[in-house]
Structure formats: C-alpha cells, structure tokens
Chain A
Amino acid sequence: MAEVKFDAASRIYPGTEEPAVNKLNLDIGDGELLVLVGPSGSGKSTALRMLAGLEFVNDGSIFINDKDVTLAPPQDRDIAMVFQNYALYPQMTVASNMAFALKQQGVSKEDRMARVKEAAKILDLEPFLDRKPKNLSGGQRQRVAMGRAIVREPQVFLMDEPLSNLDAKLRVQTRTELADLQARLGVTTVYVTHDQVEAMTMGHRVAVLNFGVLQQVDAPRTLYSAPANKFVAGFIGSPAMNLLAASDVGGRAGIGGVQVPLSDAVAAAAGAHPARELTVGVRPEHLQLGSEGIPGEAIVVEELGSESFVHVRIDHLGESTTIVVRDEGETDVRRGDNVSVGFNGPVHLFGPDDQRISG
C-alpha cells in the first residue's frame, strides 16, 4: 500500500523544446484510483512512465511512500504496469507470463504457481494458463496483462489505456470489473485514459492534463460541476459544454440578447471584468427548449431514445452560432422548427484568463 507524490516533476524529451510533462504536482493517496486524462499528446503516458522509471525526470522529484524514487530504476520501485498493447511475453504461456516477475524475485516454484493460480481464479483465466498469448482473444490478453500485475502484489498499479484495444461493449464491462478489482485489492492505482467517460466512471479523483500541464485534479463530480478553467469545462462532459464568448446584456454576461442567470456572488466577482471579455459555459443538460429564452432554429435533432440533443442555431454577437440543448427522448422538435432556449441549471463563467469565476 502506498502513497505517490509528483513534486514539480518535468520531462523534456531530448531534441524537444517544450516539456512533455511540465512541473506536475500530484498527491495520490493510499488505495486511491487516480485517473490521468487528457487529449492525445497531453503527456499522460509520459507522466505514467516517469512514475514507472521508464522515462527520466529532468526536473522535480517523484516519491513513493515518502521514498525519493526520482532516479531509481523500475525494478526498485515495486510497481506493476499494464501496457496499452499488453506487452505480454509472446513465447511464454499465460502462467509463465504471470509468474515472470515472481521468478525474477526468486520466489520458489510452488509459491509462484500458487499465486498464479490465485490470480487466475480472480480473473477467470484458469482454463488458459497453458496457452500462449497469441491464442487468446483481446479481452483474455487484457486479463493476462492484469494478472501479471496483480500476482506481484505491488505498491502501485500503473495502467496506460488498458482498455483501448477492446471493443466498445467489452470496454464498458471490463471498466466495471477493473474498478471493482482495484477496490477489492485496495492497491494505489494510476490509470491513464483519453476517454473522459472512463475517467469519470472509474476515478476516485481525476487529473486533467493538457500540453503537459495539470489543469485540475478533483473528484469526477467536482470536475463536472466546477471545472477550474475553460479547457476542463470543454473536455469533461458529453456532449461537450457550450462555451461562448459572452455578449453584453445590460452590463452583464449574456447569450444572444438574454442575460445568463448567475448567483449574486459570481455576478459580483464577474463585475471586475467587462462582460465582453468573459466566456459563458453551459452544459446541454442545463438548457431547455421552451416558450421563452434565446430564439433560434433547430438544425439537427439527435434522437438517442432516452434523451435527445437538439442543435440550435442562434444569433449571438452578430453571428449565427450553434448551441446544443438536451431535450427529452422522443422529442417533437423537428429540423427547421423555431425554438426558444431557456436556462435550467448552473451557468459557468470564465474570466479573460480562462479561469473559472466563482463567487
């Protein structure tokens, strides 16, 4: 069981100017499942590999259990890693794959087999122990990769997009199993994904990275309800939040000609900036179609059965802009209908520096 700490850790790849991970500060608690999420190239894998010892840390430090491991080789860190392509040892059977790390530690053959059997039972891999990885399905390989990690009973699990090679349905199922397994084992886990749904459903806390810079680290719920900046606001949530440069309606921020509802505290804090320098963010589920509000025209209706999303063209700042509004399933709205968009939940406001304005 372990705590992990990144202390202003940076990684600059040789031959590049910009750090791939820039002064990352993260505290990961004992038994926590922390998800690193961000768009492609944001430095998630790099951060994970720094923790694994596969990538040098150019600046700052990394601690596991208060022990400085910044310069320690991977084998001295007591971590287990699940790779995106699983990286199973192709010439070894499933059992040998899972026992490999134990063999390196000099664990006796009986103990190795006992621990492999135990892990195989947890992961339903018992029938496959004598097979080679190439004779397994993608999902089974993924479980072998997991098995290889759990037999070691390491301090920390590191997982780099472990589900990205599975089909959509299996991914959802495995996601749940994985979260459950992690909770049962109680091993501190750092989980990398670019899928924000995976991040939100699995993470105890979620760290959002962009261009190697940590944007926000919080519980999924907080990330959703109080995004720290414009990037997080746009990244978390599906469909994405509507983000618009605010229009000035009577000195207050607005969309089109309609003032957005704000708490007094937020309105007061926003008052420091002219309305036209602010950004308004509102999630589709916090908008509704009704008889009053911002007038517009429905141009696309996405019917999902349980709900639907209506893309509404509105007149905003003298241009036509599209915003997405959530509506109930089996909606009556059709393309070309004239609709009015009203507010039905919190509206987020971001300052000229893109940071959240809170009351």
Chain B
Amino acid sequence: MTAATSNAPSREEQVKALQKREARRRRLPLLPALIFTILITQIPFVMSLYYSFTDWTVTPPSPRTWTGISNYTDAFTNSFFREAAVTSIVMTVSSVLLSVILGTGVALLLDRKFFGQGFVRTLIITPFLVMPVVAGLVWKNQMFSAAFGVINWLLEAVGLEAVEFASKYPRWSIVAVLVWQWTPFMMLIILAGLQGQPASVLEAAKVDGATPRATFFQITLPHLRPYLELGVLLGSIYLIQVFDHIVVMTGGGPGSTNVPYFVNQRSIGGGWRFGSASAFSILVVIATIFIATFGLRVLSGLLEGEEP
C-alpha cells in the first residue's frame, strides 16, 4: 500500500458522500416550508414551555419571575387540576372507544352492496362535518333540553319523566355528542380498511370452514389493526383537546371541566394566570405523546395475540 492510495477516499466513503449529497438535494426545496412550520408551530410551544416555568399573572400585572418546576408540582397537588385530568381521561377514552366500536359496526354494515349505498354513506358522514360549536348547541337545545329536546319528548311519550341531560349528566352528555360526531370519522377509516381486504382471503376463510364470527375476529380484525390504530390515535389527539362542546353545552358544569377548559379558566377565561395555565397545557401535550406511543403499543399487543 502506498501513501497515495491510503489517503484516497475508499469506495464506502465515496458512496456515503454521494448519498449525503442526494439527501441534501431532496431536502433543500422543503427548507422554506420547514422553517415556516417551525416558526408558527414550535415557537408558541417553546414560549409556553418557558411561561410554564414562570409565575406570570396578568391581572394585577406583575413581573414575570422564574419559578422553576413549581407550576408542575402545583398541578399535582391542585385538586381542581386533578379532577380536570380525570375528566379529560374519562371523556377521551370513553368517546374514542365508543366511536371506534360504533364506527366499526356501521362500517361492517356499509361494507356490503345495497341500493343507495353511496347516499347512505354520505348521510352518515355528515355529523363529522358539523362545527363543534353547532353540534354542541344542536344537541343541547334540540336533543337534550328538558323543554324542547327530542329525547325528552320520547321519554315523556313513553310515560317517563323529562331529564335536563346537559346539567344532570354533563360529562356523559358531552361524551354522547363527541361519539355522535366521531363515529362517522372512525367509520370512514374502518370502511377503507374493510374495502382493502381482498375478497379471496374471505373466500379462503369460508372454504377453510371459518364461521363469520371467527372470520371477523381472526382475519378481519387483525387486518383492520393499522386502521383502528390510526383512528384511535387521531381520535385521542383531537378529543383530548375538546373545548367548544364544553363551552356551549355545560360551561364546565360539574364533572365536565377537562384540562383544556381548565386551562382556559386559569388564563384568558378569568384566572389570568398564564404561568400555571401553560404548565397544565404542557402536561396535556405530554399526555398526548404518551397516548400516541404507549396507548398504541398496548392496543397492538392486544390485537397481536395470535396462536397457530
């Protein structure tokens, strides 16, 4: 070996350099969009992260002082926050689970040929297209209201007493509306999954002697796994942030104040304590990330269970 050849880049290094250049060339055009996205999404986040370590109250105006993690430790001793956290968890989990189960059921019904299939599908999707505020108002006044609500009209028709649902069962009234709105979304995702399942696999199962039930649990459900995961993931991320429904339906009535609503109360909703409100919202972000990773892993584990 001469000095010259040992100094020359090896083939491996050359290939690496080429790959790097290739990667750079691919990413470069994305740069402006990337910078813009970082500016508008990450800077507010970093700012709230910073506020969450400070004691910042707007009224009365006071200097922002660094307080370390005390806002976070407060969160765990603050019984109002704990309650809000429980509400968030209960509302998110129950509405996601219910809408996934219902959505799967509706998708299974819609995944067969019948007259007017497209029309029915469009009808079923509409709740998802309704603005959250409107959905909340419609349900509060047209469905749940003791005076004009359809449900109470039905209850009275069969001789039962009218119930002011939104104030008597605030948490579950909101869950009901969330399920109503999110079932179509889950249905759409699951339906896409069902229609991506090759017909011949189902025929093979038939020939192999599987009952419809066995086919669903052993073949269709595992096939739907990624779709269910996607539905649960997106559903959780959105539903943990629910706010509008609470504002218009219960105004945070007993058991319906979730973390976002609580954060709102603490900050611009009258509390004006941005420091601790920021800390609470950061906790929601952490919870969301936690759900996104751990929750999914648990779900996958449940569906993975397969024995030959």
List the interface of chain A (C-beta within 8 A of B): 52-54, 73-75, 79-81, 83-85, 87-93, 95-96, 98-101, 103-105, 109, 112-113, 116, 148, 152
The answer to whether A85 and B308 have CB atoms under 8 Å apart is no
| With known contacts A83-B200, A85-B198, A75–B207 Cβ distance under 8 A | yes
22 contacts between A and B (CB under 8 A): A52-B207, A53-B207, A54-B207, A74-B207, A75-B206, A79-B207, A80-B207, A80-B208, A85-B200, A87-B200, A87-B201, A88-B204, A89-B204, A89-B219, A91-B223, A92-B222, A93-B306, A93-B308, A100-B210, A101-B210, A104-B210, A105-B209
Q: Name the residue of chain B whose CB is nearest to the CB of A100.
A: B208
Q: Are A116 and B308 in contact (CB under 8 A)?
A: yes
CB-CB nearest 6 A-B residue pairs: A101-B208, A87-B200, A91-B222, A75-B209, A87-B204, A96-B308
Given contacts A95-B308, A100-B218, A109-B307, contact A89 B201 (CB under 8 A): yes
Least Cβ distance of A211 to chain B in Å? 25
Residue of B whose beta carbon sits closest to that of A75: B209
Please give the residue numbers on chain B whose beta carbons come within 8 Å of chain A beta carbons, in ascending order. 198, 200-201, 203-211, 214, 218-219, 222-223, 225, 306-308
Instruction: Name which of B198, B207, B209, B225 has the most chain A CB atoms within 10 A of its CB.
Output: B207
20 new A-B contacts at CB < 8 Å, known A74-B209, A93-B308 = A52-B207, A54-B203, A75-B207, A75-B208, A81-B207, A87-B200, A87-B203, A87-B204, A88-B204, A89-B201, A90-B201, A90-B223, A92-B222, A96-B307, A99-B308, A100-B205, A100-B208, A100-B210, A101-B208, A105-B209
Tell me, rounded to whole Å, the shortest Cβ–Cβ distance linking A282 to chain B.
42
A87:B306 contact, CB within 8 angstroms: no
A100–B207 Cα distance when bound, in Å, is: 11
Given contacts A101-B209, A105-B209, A113-B308, contact A91 B203 (CB under 8 A): no
Q: Which residues of A contact B219 (CB under 8 A)?
A: 89, 91
Number of A-B contacts (CB under 8 A): 81
Q: Which residues of B contact A85 (CB under 8 A)?
A: 198, 200
CB neighbours of A104 from chain B (8 A): 208-211, 214
A contact residues around B225 at 8 Å (CB): 91
Taking CB atoms, residues of chain A closer than 8 Å to B218 are 89, 100
| Whole-angstrom distance between the Cβ of B269 and the nearest chain A Cβ | 48
Residues in chain B near residue A93, CB distance under 8 A: 306, 308
CB-CB under 8 A from A152, the residues of chain B are 208
Cα distance, A87 to B219, chains bound together (Å): 12
The interface residues of chain A lying within 8 Å CB-to-CB of B203 are 54, 74, 81, 83, 87
Complex Cα–Cα for A90 and B306 (A): 13
Asked whether, in the complex, the Cβ of A96 is within 8 Å of the Cβ of B306, the reply is: yes
Query: A104 CA to B307 CA in the complex, in Å?
Result: 13
Q: Which residue of B lies closest to A77 (CB)?
A: B207
User: In the assembled complex, which residues on chain B have CB atoms less than 8 Å from the CB atom of A148?
Assistant: 204, 208
- Inter-chain CA distance A96–B210, complex, in Å, is 14
Which residues from chain B contact A73 at a C-beta distance below 8 Å?
206
Which residues on A sit within 8 Å (CB–CB) of B209? 74-75, 101, 104-105
Closest to A112 in B: B308
Q: Closest Cβ of chain A: how far from B246's Cβ, in Å?
A: 39
Closest Cβ of chain A to B73, distance in Å, is 45
Evaluate contact between B198 and A87: CB separation under 8 angstroms: yes
Rounded to whole angstroms, the CA-CA distance of A233 and B210 in the bound complex is: 43
Q: Whose C-beta in chain A lies nearest to the C-beta of B206?
A: A74
Kindly state the separation between the CA atoms of A105 and B218 in the bound complex, as whole angstroms.
Answer: 14
Q: Is there an interface contact between B204 and A81, defined as CB atoms closer than 8 Å? A: yes
- Shortest distance in angstroms between A136's beta carbon and chain B's nearest beta carbon? 16
Contact yes or no, B210 A92, CB < 8 A: no
B227 to chain A, nearest CB (A): 13
Q: Which residues in B have their C-beta under 8 angstroms from that of A52?
A: 207
Contacts of A116 in B (CB 8 A): 308
Q: How far is the CA of A118 from the CA of B225 in the complex (A)?
A: 32
B-chain residues with CB within 8 Å of residue A87 when the two chains form the complex: 198, 200-201, 203-204
* Docked CA distance A87–B218 (Å): 15
CA distance A80 to B204 in the complex (A): 9
Find out whether the CB atom of A54 lies under 8 angstroms from the CB atom of B206.
yes
Closest chain B CB from A293 CB (angstroms): 53
Query: A92 to chain B: which residues have CB within 8 Å?
Result: 222, 306, 308
In the bound complex, how far is the Cα of B201 from the Cα of A314, in angstroms? 53
Taken together as a complex, chains A and B put the C-alpha atoms of A320 and B198 apart, in Å, by: 51
- Which of B222, B306, B308 has most chain A Cβ within 10 Å? B308
- Would you give the shortest CB distance from A325 to chain B, in whole angstroms? 44
A residues within 8 A CB of B207?
52-54, 74-75, 79-81
| Residue on B nearest A89 in the bound complex, by CB | B219
